């Protein structure tokens, strides 16, 4: 993507546009390119901000979901944001929910898409085969309804990550932490307007997960998107942006 990565005070982030803050939190394999369509659509009316989560920079003993939440808290404080509209995909949604629970007064709205926090299918025993490019390609393609969404650039990025033993250990540590941080008994405390956009063909956080979030959260709206996997903002960007824009306008 063409957005410039800003580095200051130990943070790396993208910031585009002006207006109310849309704080985008990416997932475990969440390249910035995943949000290109969203940034281009909303930067004319909003300040779109993507903090790059230090998934592979934290000490191994501090590679956990709560430590990512702490990073986001420090980033928001550094930027001086008063209210944020959180948008989280996959692990980013999980981080966003924990941030919201600890900072309810700073949340204007929450949008979740393919979020963990209740249930997710992990990568399981995929890492022993990490040297097999075709295997990684197949696993990456399985994230989407249309395998072609997994571009060579994206597959190459995932392949490179899983060749690094320390990155693999951090991924496994983060996955275990996510399982421990189940939010079923807590998310009912989040009363901020919540938008749920879920792929009907999501095999990582299947549609029933979105339906369960909708049942548990007191002020939520759910949209199920057909022919769509784990990343609706990538696979069905026009529909995703439409739902999100309609939601934000009503706030």
pLDDT at position 245 over 90 = yes
pLDDT in tens, 86-117: 999 999 999 999 999 999 999 999 999 999 99
Average pLDDT of the chain is 92
- Please say whether the beta carbons of 173 and 64 come within 8 A: yes
pLDDT at position 10 over 50 = yes
Buried b / exposed e across 91-105, counting CB within 10 Å, b at 16+? bbbbbbbbbbeebee
Q: What's the DSSP call for residue 88?
A: E
- Residue 122's pLDDT is 58
Q: What is the pTM for the complete model shown?
A: 0.94
pLDDT at position 2 over 80 = no
- Residue 105's pLDDT is 97
d(CA 64, CA 160): 21
pLDDT at position 124 over 70 = no
Return the structure tokens found at 2.
Answer: 């063409």
Report the SS3 class of residue 8.
strand
- Please say whether the beta carbons of 152 and 59 come within 8 A: no
Top-confidence residue, 227 or 29? 227
CATH superfamily entry for domain 6-249:
Alpha/Beta hydrolase fold, catalytic domain (3.40.50.1820)
d(CA 220, CA 128): 39
Confidence of residue 128 (pLDDT cuts 50, 70, 90): very low
pLDDT at position 30 over 80 = no
pLDDT at position 123 over 90 = no
pLDDT in tens, 164-208: 989 988 988 988 898 899 999 999 999 999 999 999 999 999 999
Q: Which of 51-55, 91-95, 131-135 has the lowest mean pLDDT?
A: 131-135
**Domain boundaries defined on the chain:** 6-249
Q: Which of 10-19, 57-66, 194-203, 235-244 has the lowest mean pLDDT?
A: 57-66
Report the SS3 class of residue 217.
coil
Share of the chain above pLDDT 70, in %: 95
Q: Which of 19-33, 66-80, 121-135 has the lowest mean pLDDT?
A: 121-135
Top-confidence residue, 25 or 127? 25
Top-confidence residue, 1 or 243? 243
């Amino acid at each position: 993507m063409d957005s410039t990565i800003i580095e200051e005070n130990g943070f790396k982030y993208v910031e585009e546009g002006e207006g109310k803050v849309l704080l985008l939190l990416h997932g475990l394999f969440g390249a910035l390119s995943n949000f290109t369509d969203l940034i281009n659509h909303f930067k004319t009316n909003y300040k779109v901000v993507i903090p790059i989560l230090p998934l592979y920079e934290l000490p191994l003993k501090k590679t956990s979901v709560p430590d990512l939440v702490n990073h986001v808290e420090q980033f928001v404080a550094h930027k001086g944001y008063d209210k944020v509209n959180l948008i989280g995909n996959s692990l980013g949604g999980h981080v966003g929910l924990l941030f919201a629970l600890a900072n309810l007064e700073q949340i204007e709205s929450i949008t979740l898409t393919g979020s963990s926090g209740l249930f997710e299918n992990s990568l399981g025993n995929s890492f022993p085969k990490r040297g097999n490019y075709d295997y990684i390609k197949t696993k990456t393609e399985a994230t989407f309804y249309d395998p072609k969404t997994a571009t060579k650039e994206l597959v190459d990025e995932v392949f490179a990550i899983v060749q690094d033993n320390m990155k693999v250990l951090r991924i496994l540590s983060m996955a275990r932490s996510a399982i421990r941080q189940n939010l079923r008994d807590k998310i009912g405390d989040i009363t901020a307007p919540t938008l749920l956009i879920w792929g009907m063909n999501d095999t990582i956080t299947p549609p029933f997960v979105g339906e369960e979030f909708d049942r548990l959260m007191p002020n939520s709206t759910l949209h199920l998107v057909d022919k769509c996997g784990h990343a609706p903002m990538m696979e069905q960007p026009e529909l995703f942006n439409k739902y999100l824009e309609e939601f934000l306008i009503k706030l």
